[in-house]
Structure 1
Amino acid sequence: MAKESFDKEIQFLRMLVLTSGAFNRQQFADRLGISVHTFDKTIRKLKEIVSAVHRHLPQEQSRELAETIRYSYYDSADPMLLFLYRAKSVKESESHRISLLLGAMNEQALTAMELLDICSGGMPDGLLFPDEKTIRSDLKYLEEVGVIRKESASRPYRYRVNNDLVRELSDDELIDLYDFVDVMANTLVPSVQGYLLRDGLKKQLQRGGMELHAIEPFLYKYHYHSRILDEAHLFTLLSAIRQRRKVQFLYFSPKSEKSYASKNTNPLFERETSGRLIKTLPLKVVYDHQYGRWYLLSSERDGIRKYRMEGITQIEEDEQVGEELFRAKAAGLEEKIRYSWLIDTGRPVKVRARFYNPEDSKSNFVKERVLLQGQWGKIVDEDEQTFIYEITVNGTTEIRPWLRSFGSSCEVLEPVSLRNEMIAEWKEIQAYYESV
């Protein structure tokens, strides 16, 4: 799938998950900035991918895609939206060719010419036969990513699938490795590559006759779908940061009425898009654990800019900048976010809050959570019933949800403005529960 269509599917699936299929075709098309005809083509493409990747799903043609996603979500611990990454990986011809190559090299070490003969005889009707240059290019790519390795040191080189790790491990060791990867993929970011590795290990265990209930002792329910979808841009941005390159993309802010726009490739059908064309120097990528969002922090002429990654489409790398300039910009950013709870670059302010220890509890879970999540803040005073926590942060907007999440166990003392805002919020919440 092309990059442009992948952007479209990302935004499509994000809306589908958030709205649970509440939009009709026209509303979906309007929100995405596409025609109803393009919407229908996208639906057909996604249904084909779902049926190919998730063969355990019911095959009724009348089933809506939204129902399919909900069915898979509750039926399986696997994050459903990973099917988009599998579909994007390779073109159809590449998929058949690489499958043939890996299947042949899994049994024995073969040369490029032997693999060419195997591919020429095994490609489905309608697909072009590969030439020697294509096969050698595929072998070079597979060797670079560690899927295969050279068995011989002299020409002609023989290649074999590099799967000694899973072949040499016992079933118990494979299950332990699978459990470790499963926990890490569900608790750390980024996670997509971990999920794909977990799927590979699961298939290896099932080939050995292992029952599914023995492989999956843990069940996770994933709530932040955007985290998975936004990882499509993550490694492009990290690569640009490492190479000190600017990036260019079409950006749709969270307040924008549209979330996608196709490229104007036909001059007869050019139209103005609602997104903004951005050219910027990426400096840092930040993940917000509380809301499951990725943010890009970058440098432009007017200073530091922040972008929600869910609004980025049609991303491309641009020119490289000098190392000294990049270091200066990065140092300036680090100074700006030195006291940021997340990414706020506002004026530093000291926050003081009193936390109340839980009554009749064997463990002080309130204090444990403050120490775990309180970042660079410190406990400055403490007695048997309460303790006072103090931290200097850039503004109070980002720390407020964290303080509010403690409910009656937290009382904001300073600054007075934040205290008054919290009082007003709790009064508003209390009004919701007045007797009817």
Structure 2
Amino acid sequence: MAKESFDKEIQFLRMLSLTNGAYNRKQYAERLGISVHTFDKTTRRLKEIMQTVVDPRSGSEPSKEMTDLVRFQYGETAEPMLLFLYRAKSMKETEVQRLSVILHTLQGSALTAMELLDACCADLPEELALPDEKTIRTDLKYLEEVGVIRKESGGRPYRYMLQQDVLTKLTAQEQLELYDFVDIMANTQVPSVQGYLLRDSLKKAIATSYPEQEVTEPFIYKYHYYSRILDEAHLYTLLSAIRQCKRVQFVYFPPKKPSSYSSQNTNPRFEREAGGHANRILPLEVVYDHQYGRWYVIGYQGRRGFVKFRMEGITQMEELDAVDAAYMLELKQQWAEASRYSWLVDTANTVTVQVRFFHPESGQRNFILDRVRLQGQWGTITPETDHTFLYEIRVNGTTEIKPWLRSFGSSCEVIAPHRLRQEMIKEWKEIAQYYESVREDVQLSDHDEIE
């Protein structure tokens, strides 16, 4: 797989999603740490990928500008556009052609690696280099790992066949019910990319039974977090490294860095300083932040101890050597104790936060209390009056809990600690200033008058 290209395209799509076409070509290239020529080449590459995965029945126009294609509207969210990168997998053209021939050949019966090699040599275009036996066996191992094919029981030579029982042994109605379940789970749970890809496979199978009916679009979802899908590219690599007790290395771009990517230097004449920092860690845990849709990886890094990285800044990830399982378990136990009172991943000093919440107006459902019960983690709730209740929790620092408290608006009053209360007062005063009149002597017309 073209790993560098995949990292670059992930950051490219993230930039388009977040800025929504606000930058010109030069500004995009500078922010990404690439040349304008590379920016144009990446744009063409993504358009070519999109043309191969856009459903012609959907009415989408592959020729539209990339900045328009990543603008999420309610009517477009049933097909998250960022998924087209995963469908293409940033494979080289030779890989795409070869895997297509292998899967097409296995449609009829189970075959050996040598029989598939003969099929590739016969069916691949003349301009492409012919594969050898090692290449075919590598492809078969990859397809087996991702669950597309399976190895039949028996001795050598091993025979491979398509893994499609879930599609062939279900009735049309059962396939439709399975599709609806996968559709709901992929749009409401994390991780979601594999669910979306499974949904696409089910949709193709259902189309043979319901060719004229729009039975596969019963729900429409508003998708808010673009990074959630893009960062899943690193998720399974990290989970695999954690299971196997392996170290990983990567180049990291902190959120406050002016650039989010830097191309690998291949020509020494044009070598320049990279914008990211090389890191080598032993990953211990992956954490998802539901409030902001972000993934974090927790690791151990020698002298620095426990470290935390937002996965949106990770590029060029590679697995390294393995460590002793007992050592890994000990570090996990130490991290569990250090993060015992972390609202998310903060490891600052533990403080007790006390908050007064106000009930909504009488007659309304007490959605404030319901939300605090659902999201308040290990905090305790104590009724105070008919109109208020108290919430108390011990947390490591107040940085991570503050946005959650702020989201309640006037229904929440911070009592302690005093420093957090003063920070909230200061922030609300700043927000109030945004709504003050620019000029006091400006006369508003009748239709502009604010009630």
CA 211–158 in structure 1, closer or farther in 2 if over 3 Å, else same? same
SS at match of 1:106: coil
Partner of 1:234: 235
| Structure 1: tracts of 5 or more residues without a match | none
Counterpart AA for 1:58: E
Counterpart AA for 2:291: Q
Partner of 2:391: 389
CA 423–234 in structure 1, closer or farther in 2 if over 3 Å, else same? same
SS at match of 2:71: helix
| Distance apart, 1:381 and its partner CA | 3.3
Q: Check conservation: 1:247, 1:282, Cα contact below 8 A.
A: yes
Partner of 2:348: 346
Q: Check conservation: 2:74, 2:221, Cα contact below 8 A.
A: no
CA distance in 2, matches of 1:115, 1:103: 10
CA distance in 1, matches of 2:347, 2:146: 39
Partner of 2:32: 32
SS at match of 1:189: coil
CA 120–425 in structure 1, closer or farther in 2 if over 3 Å, else same? same
Partner of 1:286: 287
CA 217–5 in structure 1, closer or farther in 2 if over 3 Å, else same? same
Partner of 2:444: none
- Please tell me whether residue 334 in structure 1 is matched to residue 333 in structure 2: no
CA 385–59 in structure 1, closer or farther in 2 if over 3 Å, else same? closer
| Distance apart, 1:66 and its partner CA | 0.7
Q: Which moved more, 1:227-236 or 1:201-210?
A: 201-210
Partner of 1:253: 254
Moved runs in structure 1, 4+ residues, more than 6 A? Answer: none
CA distance in 2, matches of 1:316, 1:155: 33
| Distance apart, 1:89 and its partner CA | 5.6
Deviations 1:214-267 (A, max 9, x none): 111011121111111111111112222222222221111111111111122333
| Distance apart, 1:192 and its partner CA | 0.9
- Equivalent runs, 1:7-18 vs 2, <5 Å: 7-18=7-18
CA distance in 1, matches of 2:114, 2:273: 51
Partner of 1:376: 378
Partner of 1:325: 327
Deviations 1:31-59 (A, max 9, x none): 11111111111111111111222153325
Deviations 1:284-334 (A, max 9, x none): 111111111111222221222221111111112223223333223222211
CA distance in 1, matches of 2:29, 2:139: 38
Which of 416, 419, 423 in structure 2 is aligned with 1:417? 419
SS at match of 1:215: coil
Indicate the RMSD between aligned Cα atoms, in angstroms. 2.3
Q: Check conservation: 1:72, 1:80, Cα contact below 8 A.
A: no
SS at match of 1:238: helix
CA 36–139 in structure 1, closer or farther in 2 if over 3 Å, else same? closer
| Distance apart, 1:144 and its partner CA | 4.1
Partner of 1:243: 244
CA distance in 2, matches of 1:282, 1:251: 14
Q: Check conservation: 1:288, 1:294, Cα contact below 8 A.
A: yes
CA distance in 1, matches of 2:74, 2:82: 9
Q: Check conservation: 1:31, 1:257, Cα contact below 8 A.
A: yes
CA distance in 2, matches of 1:10, 1:51: 18
CA distance in 1, matches of 2:74, 2:81: 6
CA distance in 1, matches of 2:261, 2:5: 10
| Distance apart, 1:97 and its partner CA | 2.4
TM normalised by structure 1 equals 0.92
| Distance apart, 1:198 and its partner CA | 0.9
Partner of 1:191: 192
| Distance apart, 1:156 and its partner CA | 5.5
Q: Which moved more, 1:120-129 or 1:308-317?
A: 120-129
SS at match of 1:214: coil
Counterpart AA for 1:322: D
Q: Check conservation: 2:109, 2:161, Cα contact below 8 A.
A: yes
CA distance in 2, matches of 1:180, 1:14: 28
Partner of 1:208: 209
Partner of 2:22: 22
Counterpart AA for 1:124: P
| Distance apart, 1:112 and its partner CA | 4.2
| Distance apart, 1:340 and its partner CA | 0.6
Deviations 1:48-90 (A, max 9, x none): 1112221533254xx4211233388853511111111122264
CA distance in 2, matches of 1:409, 1:424: 17
| Distance apart, 1:342 and its partner CA | 0.7
Q: Check conservation: 1:73, 1:80, Cα contact below 8 A.
A: no
CA distance in 2, matches of 1:353, 1:292: 25
CA 131–312 in structure 1, closer or farther in 2 if over 3 Å, else same? closer
Partner of 1:299: 300
CA distance in 1, matches of 2:193, 2:83: 7
Q: Check conservation: 2:380, 2:392, Cα contact below 8 A.
A: yes
Q: Check conservation: 2:73, 2:222, Cα contact below 8 A.
A: no
Counterpart AA for 2:361: E
Q: Check conservation: 2:247, 2:280, Cα contact below 8 A.
A: yes
Counterpart AA for 1:26: K
CA distance in 1, matches of 2:329, 2:400: 27
Q: Which moved more, 1:409-418 or 1:103-112?
A: 103-112
Counterpart AA for 2:69: T
Q: Which moved more, 1:174-183 or 1:159-168?
A: 159-168
Number of residue-to-residue matches in the alignment: 434
Partner of 2:54: 54
Partner of 1:129: 130
CA distance in 2, matches of 1:277, 1:156: 44
TM normalised by structure 2 equals 0.89
- Equivalent runs, 1:129-168 vs 2, <5 Å: 129-150=130-151, 153=154, 157-168=158-169
SS at match of 2:30: helix
Q: Percent identity?
A: 61
Q: Check conservation: 2:242, 2:285, Cα contact below 8 A.
A: yes
Q: Check conservation: 1:33, 1:259, Cα contact below 8 A.
A: yes
| Structure 2: tracts of 5 or more residues without a match | 441-451
Q: Check conservation: 2:32, 2:259, Cα contact below 8 A.
A: yes
CA distance in 2, matches of 1:69, 1:257: 22
